[in-house]
Amino acid sequence: MFVTHEALKHPVQLDRESTAWRGIELALHHPMFLVTCFSSDDDASRTFLLHGTIELNEFANKTPAGKITDLHLLQPPWWSGSSGWAIKRMSEILLQEAPPDGSIPSAVTRGEDGALYGGFPIAQIKGNPGPLSMLAALPN
């Protein structure tokens, strides 16, 4: 997902349980989700990079960092269909209860254009996705 380099380590570390970096190298070989949460306890937003739909489903059900306020599908240039990065805003997180291919239930997202995204690697779903139920509607 990402690679760290000692030269990018922040010179001042705030605690012993985590490491602060000034930069990281992204090692994205497929689309991923960028999830932003707001915690009223901390009065702060935090952003996470998630590997795929199974992780998004677990994250949406546990919401460890507060309420999900924003979700984007991040597509590297070789997946985006263009020469640059594509970032698509999602409007809903849904549970794909019984995927037609027999795989385990996982999250499916709906883009602002109404398209559904799911599977691994994350791609636009063509055809019948099977029964879906709402996990989270995201604010506009």
* pLDDT tens-digit map of 70-125: 999 998 888 777 888 889 999 999 999 888 888 888 899 999 999 999 988 899 99
* pLDDT tens-digit map of 16-59: 888 888 888 877 778 999 999 887 777 788 888 898 898 898 88
pTM for the model stands at 0.81
The residue with greater pLDDT, 41 or 127, is: 127
79: left (phi over 0), alpha (psi -120 to 50) or beta: alpha
Q: How far apart are CA 105 and CA 48, in angstroms?
A: 22
Strands (E), the chain: 2-3, 25-26, 32-39, 44-50, 67-75, 86-96, 106-111, 116-118, 123-124, 132-137
How high is the mean pLDDT of the chain?
87
pLDDT of residue 63: 65
pLDDT of residue 1: 63
pLDDT of residue 73: 95
